[in-house]
């Protein structure tokens, strides 16, 4: 299990994966909008998307889990 954590406060602008998708390290998972910037959040490790904990438009804080991967 690997958690993808929001690196900063902001709003979820785009979710680029679905539950069940295989993702590779470095792949963009979510695009966040913060400070008027579009900020890609990438997977550190590869795995299968187990759970997506946010919706587009949600406010997330630094440290919030946004996606859970299983290895």
Give the interface size with another protein as a residue count (CB under 8 A). Answer: 12
Which residue's CB is nearer to another protein, number 42 or number 51?
42
Which residue's CB is nearer to another protein, number 36 or number 55?
36
**Structure tokens, 71:** 């290895």
**Structure tokens, 40:** 């890609």
Is beta strand 28-34 parallel, antiparallel or unpaired with respect to 37-42?
Answer: antiparallel
Query: How far lies 2's CA from each of 22, 33, 38, in Å?
Result: 13, 23, 23
**Structure tokens, 39:** 């900020």
Residues 14-43 that bind another protein (CB under 8 A): 34-40
- The piece of 4-12, 16-24, 46-54 that touches another protein (CB under 8 A) is 4-12
Binding site for another protein (CB under 8 A): 7-9, 34-40, 61-62
């Amino acid at each position: 299990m690997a958690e993808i954590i929001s690196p900063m406060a902001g709003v979820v602008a785009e979710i680029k994966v679905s539950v069940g998708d295989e993702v590779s390290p470095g792949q963009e998972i979510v695009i966040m909008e913060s400070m008027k910037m579009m900020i890609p959040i990438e997977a550190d490790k590869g795995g299968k998307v187990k759970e997506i904990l946010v919706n587009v438009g949600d406010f997330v804080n630094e440290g919030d889990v946004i996606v859970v991967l299983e290895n």
